[in-house]
């Protein structure tokens, strides 16, 4: 299992997940940079992702949908705000309609991903998602975000050690 720590920081309106991989930083970076690899882990195993747009540059958009077990599609977007390959990535993460347009009825979180080499040649990846309000955070966490992202992240190890 790659997720080693999950912290809900209520006072900071943040969710922090820490992951450890035996693969080097450059290899772990590829699960974000390669849309075909991203599809293989973004979303819980029973909700596979399909990436329809992938512009991993500041100001770029990443659009995707996850397909549930009954065939329903759940659309989402990332608006990339910063990239320092292969060390960090920042993006706004939100729900979208079928056309990929942001769903303004749902909260948007801001996510920062950092990749740091450890002493053994592996990588520590930290995802910090921050929210505008306690209500936004509670709404998304109440929808199962912690469980979903943990299941998703636990699929990365198989991709970076292959």
Q: Is the pLDDT of residue 117 over 90?
A: yes
Question: What integer pLDDT is reported at residue 7 of this predicted model?
Answer: 95
Q: Is the pLDDT of residue 100 over 90?
A: no
Residues 24-57: b if buried by 16+ CB within 10 A, e if exposed:
bbebbbebbbebebbbebbbbeebebebeebebe
Q: Is the pLDDT of residue 2 over 90?
A: no
Across all residues in the chain, what is the average pLDDT? 95
Q: Is the pLDDT of residue 1 over 60?
A: no
Q: Tell me the average pLDDT across 30-48.
A: 96
Query: Which domains does the chain show, CATH number per domain?
Result: 3-160 (3.30.530.20)
């Amino acid at each position: 299992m790659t997720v080693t720590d999950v912290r809900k920081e209520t006072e900071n309106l943040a969710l922090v997940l820490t992951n450890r991989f035996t693969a080097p930083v450059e290899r772990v970076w590829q699960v974000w940079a390669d849309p075909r690899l991203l599809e293989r882990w973004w979303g819980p195993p029973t909700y596979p992702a399909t990436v329809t747009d992938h512009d991993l540059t500041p100001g770029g958009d990443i659009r995707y949908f996850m397909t549930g077990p009954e065939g329903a599609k759940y659309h989402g977007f990332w608006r990339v705000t910063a990239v320092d390959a292969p060390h960090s990535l920042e993006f706004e993460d939100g729900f979208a309609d079928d056309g990929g347009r942001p769903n303004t009825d749902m909260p948007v979180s801001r996510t920062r991903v950092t990749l740091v080499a450890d002493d053994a040649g592996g990588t520590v990846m930290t995802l910090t998602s921050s929210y505008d309000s306690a209500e936004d955070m509670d709404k998304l966490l109440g929808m199962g975000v912690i469980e979903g992202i943990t299941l998703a992240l636990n699929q990365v190890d198989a991709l970076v050690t292959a």
